[in-house]
Amino acid sequence: MVVYVSSVSFPKMHHPLIPKTHHEMGRYYIKKSTRGNYSSENLKKALEDLREGQSYHSVSKKYTIPCRTLQRHMKGTIRQPGCIKLGRFRPILSDEMETEIVHHAIEMQQRFYGLTPMDIRKLAFQLVEMKKLPHPFNSTKQMAGNKWLLGFIERHPELSVHEPEVTSVSRAVAFNRPQVSRFFNILKNALEKDLTMDGSRIWNMDESGVTTAHKPRRIIAKKGTKQVGKITSGEKGKNVTVICAVNAHGSYLPPAMIYPRVRMNPQLLKGTLGFATKSGWTDCEVFVKWLKHFTDVVKSTLERKVILLVDGHASHKSLEAITFARDHGIDLISFPPHCTHRIQPLDLTFFGPLKEYYRSECDKWMISNPGKRISFFEIAGIFGTAYMKCATIDKGVSGFRSGGIWPYNNDIFTDAEFAPSLMTENNLVIDTVVAGSSVIDTVVASSSVVDTVVASSSVADTVVASSSVVDTVVPGSSIQVMIQSLSPLPKAEPRSGKRKAEAAEALTSTPFKQALLEKHQLQQMKVENQARRKLILKKKKLKKTVAASLAARGKKAPPQSAFSTTKKTVPKKKIVDSDKRTPKNKDNEICPGCDEVGGTEDWIRCSGCNVWWHEQCTSYEGIRGFVCDFC
C-alpha cells in the first residue's frame, strides 16, 4: 500500500545576524557519508598508541578508525596530521585565535563595554591582516562577513547576542570590592554586638515611585497592525513616592505614601500612612515621621535593638533622624553609594514584581471604570491591592539572601562581578567614620576604583586605551597582545576632583554623629558669614545710592565716615507734617545713622534722597519735612 503525505510548509528559521537570502541558498549542509565520524580526541589517542608500538589493526579496531587513515596521519601525507578535516574549505582563523577572541569578548562584556557583532567582524579582519593570513573578507568594508560571524557563534555556543541593560558609569565604577567589603565589615560589627540578633530584626527600607499614568501591559492584537493603543489616565502622570520595608524573615511593614501636596487630605488614604511634601519626595522631616511609624510596629528598644539598612540619601543622615534612631534602639546602616542595585534586598526581588502588579491593577481599574482617570484619590487603593499580592515571604527572604546580608555572606560576589570597576586605577580615599572606632578613619583601597561615585555630573570620564599604538605590535607577537592592541580594555583617566568619595556608614555610631555635629557647626558658620557679607554689600550699595542721589541734585557727597557715625538723639516731638511711615521691608532696611538692620523703632524717610532712617538716629524736630544730614 502506498501512502501519500500532503505537503506541509515549515517556517524558515532566521538568524538576526545574517540576511534571509542566505537561508534560501542552503546555508546548512547535512552530512550524508560516514567518513570522519570519529572524534579528534580518539584520533590523538590512536596516534599515541601507534607511537608506543601497537599494531594498526588493533588500534583501528579499538577506536573504529580506518587503517588507511591512521597510516596517512603517521606518515604525514596530509596537511594537518592529528586533525579531522573533510572537504575543500579551510578555517580562516585558527582555533587559538578564535579562542582568544572569545575570551576578549567575554572580558569586555564583564566590564560593561561589550563588543557588538560589527566590532567582532572588524576585529577578525584586522587580526588576519596583521597576521598576513589569506582570507576572503571584504577589504573595502574592512570587516568579516555575516556568514563568518554566524559560524563563529555556532562554533562557540558560550556566546550569544544580548540586548544590554543601561548602566550608568557611576554604578559600574562604584560597585567595587573595597566599597562592598567596607559595608559587610560594618554589618558584621553590628551583628556581633548582639549575639541574639536574627533575621526578624534586620530590616531594609527604601523609597520608590508609582505614577497615575501607568505603562500598559502587552495585549493580543491583529497581526500587521502598525499602531496598537491602550487607554491610560494621561500622557504624563504625577508621581507618588511609596516607602516600603521588609525584614530577613519576609515580614513587611505597612507602606507609606508621599503625595506632592502642601497639605494632606485624609480622603487620599485608604488604609495606609500618608505624608505630604511640596515635591512629592522624601525629606528629613518625613523620614523622622516614618521612623516613628517604624518603631510603633517593630517595637524596638535599647535592650532589643534592630538593624535598619537604608540608602545614602541625605534625608537618612539628618541629625534629628540619627538622634531619634539612637534613642529608640535602631542601628542605621547605609549602603555603599550606587550599589543598591546589587545589594539592597528590596531592589533585588521586590520592587520589580511590585511595579508589574501595580500595572496589572491599573489595567483592571481602567477596564472597570471606562472613561475615568486614575487620580491621587484612587492610587492608594490600587497600590494596596498590588502590594498585598507582591508582599510574599519568599521575596523577602530571597532578597536578603541574594545580597549576602542574611545569612551573612561577604563572599557572595565574585571577581567577575567587580570587573566593571577595573576601568579606573585611582586609589579610593574615603574619609569617614567606621562603627566601633573613636576617630575618623581613612580607608585607602589599592585596587581600582573611583572618586566618580560622588558626583553624578562628573562621572562621564574619558575612556582611553591602555596600549593605543597598533604599529608597535609586530606580526610575530602573541595573539592576545594583538587583540589587546586592536581592541584595548577600557581605562579611565585620573580625575582631579576635590570632593571625597562617600561610602557605607554606621549612621547611628558615635563617631559619625560627632562628625555630623561638626559638619552642622561649619554649615552654620558659613550661613552666618554669608549673611554678614550680604549686609556689608548692602551697606556699600546704600552708600552708592546716597552718593548718586546727591550728585543728581548737585550736592556734595558726604564723607565715608558719615555712614559709620552713630548718632542717637532724644526723640523729638512728632507732628503730622513729618514724612514718617513704615518701610515695606523694615527688617531688611539699614539705618545710615547706626548701621543697624531693621528694628522696632519708628522710621522716617529723607525727602531729599528717599533713604529711610531710625527717627532716634536723626536730629529731626518735627517741623516740616525731614532732610538728613547728608542732604
Q: Judge whether 492 lies within some domain.
A: no
For residue 496, the model assigns a pLDDT of 63
Q: Which residue has the cell 500622557?
A: 235
- Between CA 465 and CA 470, with CA 469 as vertex, the angle to 5 degrees is 110
Which of 416, 434, 452 delimits the end of a domain? 416
pLDDT grade for 471, boundaries at 50, 70 and 90: very low
- The total of structural domains in the chain comes to 2
Residue 610's region, left for phi above 0, alpha for psi from -120 to 50, else beta, is left
Q: pLDDT tens digits, residue range 241-250?
A: 999 999 999 9
Residue 54 has pLDDT above 70, yes or no: yes
Average pLDDT over residues 470-488: 69
CA distance 79 to 85: 9
Question: Do 202 and 346 fall into the same domain?
Answer: yes
Which of 371, 395, 416 delimits the end of a domain? 416
For residue 11, the model assigns a pLDDT of 45
pLDDT grade for 259, boundaries at 50, 70 and 90: very high
Q: Residue 436 carries which DSSP code?
A: T
| In 322-397, beta strands by DSSP E | 330-334
Question: Do 190 and 339 fall into the same domain?
Answer: yes
Residue 125's region, left for phi above 0, alpha for psi from -120 to 50, else beta, is alpha
For residue 586, the model assigns a pLDDT of 60
Question: Do 311 and 186 fall into the same domain?
Answer: yes
Residue 209 has pLDDT above 60, yes or no: yes
Average pLDDT over residues 461-477: 42
Residue 577 has pLDDT above 50, yes or no: no
Q: Judge whether 503 lies within some domain.
A: no
For residue 566, the model assigns a pLDDT of 45
- Between CA 432 and CA 441, with CA 436 as vertex, the angle to 5 degrees is 30
Question: Do 329 and 192 fall into the same domain?
Answer: yes
Which of 389, 416, 443 delimits the end of a domain? 416
Name the residue among 113, 155, 122 with its Cα closest to residue 422.
113
Instruction: Calculate the average pLDDT of the chain.
Output: 80
Residue 345 has pLDDT above 70, yes or no: yes
Question: Do 262 and 406 fall into the same domain?
Answer: yes
| In 230-272, beta strands by DSSP E | 239-247, 256-260
CA distance 453 to 180: 13
Q: pLDDT tens digits, residue range 417-457?
A: 898 888 775 444 444 444 333 333 433 333 333 343 333 33
pLDDT grade for 569, boundaries at 50, 70 and 90: very low
**CA–CA distances in Å: residue 487 to residues 464, 469, 631:** 11, 11, 79
Q: Judge whether 180 lies within some domain.
A: yes
pLDDT grade for 217, boundaries at 50, 70 and 90: confident
pLDDT grade for 6, boundaries at 50, 70 and 90: very low
Which helix (H) or strand (E) segment is 203 a member of? strand 202-211
Indicate the residue type of 299. Answer: K
pLDDT > 90 fraction of the chain, expressed in percent and rounded: 44
Q: Judge whether 41 lies within some domain.
A: no
The answer to whether 344 touches 403, Cβ cutoff 8 Å, is: yes
Query: Which residues sit opposite 506 in a β-bridge?
Result: 333
Residue 526 has pLDDT above 50, yes or no: yes
φ/ψ (deg, to 5) at 98? -65, -35
Task: Supply the Cα-derived Rg of the chain in whole angstroms.
Answer: 38
Residue 383 has pLDDT above 60, yes or no: yes
Name the residue among 516, 559, 564, 556 with its Cα closest to residue 539.
564
Average pLDDT over residues 543-571: 58
Q: pLDDT tens digits, residue range 307-343?
A: 999 999 999 999 999 999 999 999 999 999 999 999 9
Question: Do 406 and 551 fall into the same domain?
Answer: no
Q: Which residue has the cell 500595572?
A: 359
Q: What is the 3-state secondary structure (H, E, C) of 110-168?
A: HCCCCCCHHHHHHHHHHHHHHHCCCCCCECCCCECCHHHHHHHHHHCCCCCCCCCCCCC
| 440 Cβ neighbours under 8 A, 6+ residues apart | 431, 432, 433, 511, 515
**CA–CA distances in Å: residue 162 to residues 114, 156, 165, 375, 418:** 10, 15, 9, 38, 20
The answer to whether 291 touches 273, Cβ cutoff 8 Å, is: no
**Burial label, 402 (beta-carbon count in 10 A; 0-12, 13-18, 19+):** middle
Q: Judge whether 396 lies within some domain.
A: yes
Question: Do 207 and 350 fall into the same domain?
Answer: yes
Q: pLDDT tens digits, residue range 104-146?
A: 999 999 988 999 999 999 999 999 999 999 999 999 999 999 9
Alpha-carbon dihedral sign for residues 441, 445, 451, 455: negative
DSSP code string of 163-191: -PPP--HHHHHH--HHHHHHHHHHHHHHH
Q: Judge whether 330 lies within some domain.
A: yes
Residue 60 has pLDDT above 50, yes or no: yes
Q: What is the dihedral of CA 86, 87, 90, 95, to 10 degrees?
A: -20
CA distance 27 to 23: 5
Indicate the residue type of 221. Answer: A
Residue 9 has pLDDT above 70, yes or no: no
Who has greater pLDDT, 226 or 543?
A: 226
Name the residue among 432, 583, 457, 409 with its Cα closest to residue 509.
432
CATH number for the domain spanning 285: value is 3.30.420.10
- Between CA 41 and CA 48, with CA 43 as vertex, the angle to 5 degrees is 95
Structural domain boundaries, residue 237: 172-215+233-416
Q: Residue 509 carries which DSSP code?
A: S
The answer to whether 553 touches 608, Cβ cutoff 8 Å, is: yes
Q: Judge whether 106 lies within some domain.
A: no
Least confident of 1-15, 234-248, 408-422, 613-627: 1-15
Residue 356 has pLDDT above 90, yes or no: yes
Question: Do 181 and 314 fall into the same domain?
Answer: yes
CA distance 316 to 322: 8
Cell of 386: 498590588
Who has greater pLDDT, 235 or 403?
A: 403
Cell of 139: 577589504
Q: What is the 3-state secondary structure (H, E, C) of 568-629?
A: CCCCCCCCCCCCCCCCCCHHHCECCCCCCECCCCCEEECCCCCCEEEHHHCCCCCCCCCCCC
Question: Do 193 and 339 fall into the same domain?
Answer: yes
Q: Judge whether 161 lies within some domain.
A: no
For residue 369, the model assigns a pLDDT of 92
Using DSSP's 3-state secondary structure scheme, residue 429 falls into: strand
Q: pTM score, two decimals?
A: 0.67
